[in-house]
């Protein structure tokens, strides 16, 4: 049985967030916002959904005299993202197959 699509990760902005966070230990909130070309509030909303699911965590740290937020995927989130990508890959590999 192929892996299932994850409804928490499936919305495109959450999928993009996970894709950006998967290869790194953590990323600064502002950098994620800029990479995604989105607003603080939109990113915060998507991160809240990932955090509530246990897929992401955030930490505050002072840097350059300013408080900054750093975001990372949890081990559960990293596994969920990779399983979701595997499900998408399996789905795509069957695209165009005759019934």
The answer as to CATH 1.10.10.10 being correct for domain 12-89 is yes
Mean pLDDT of 44-51: 97
Q: Contact, 56 vs 47, CB < 8 A?
A: yes
User: What are the domain boundaries of the chain?
Assistant: 12-89
Spatial separation of the C-alpha atoms in residues 47 and 32, rounded to whole Å: 11
Q: Output the CA–CA distances (angstroms, integers) from residue 95 to 45, 82, 90, 99, in the order listed.
A: 32, 20, 9, 10
Q: Contact, 20 vs 32, CB < 8 A?
A: yes
> Which tens digit of pLDDT belongs to each residue from 50-95?
999 999 999 998 877 888 999 999 999 999 999 999 999 988 887 6
Give the global pTM. 0.88
Spatial separation of the C-alpha atoms in residues 48 and 50, rounded to whole Å: 5
């Amino acid at each position: 049985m192929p892996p299932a699509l994850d409804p928490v990760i499936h919305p495109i902005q959450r999928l993009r967030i996970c894709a950006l966070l998967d290869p790194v230990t953590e990323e600064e909130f502002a950098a994620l916002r800029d990479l995604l070309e989105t607003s603080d509030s939109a990113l915060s909303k998507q991160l809240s959904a990932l955090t509530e699911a246990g897929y992401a965590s955030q930490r505050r740290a002072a840097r350059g005299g300013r408080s900054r937020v750093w975001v990372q995927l949890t081990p559960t989130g990293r596994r969920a993202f990779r399983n979701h990508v595997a499900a998408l890959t399996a789905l795509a590999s069957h695209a165009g197959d005759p019934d």
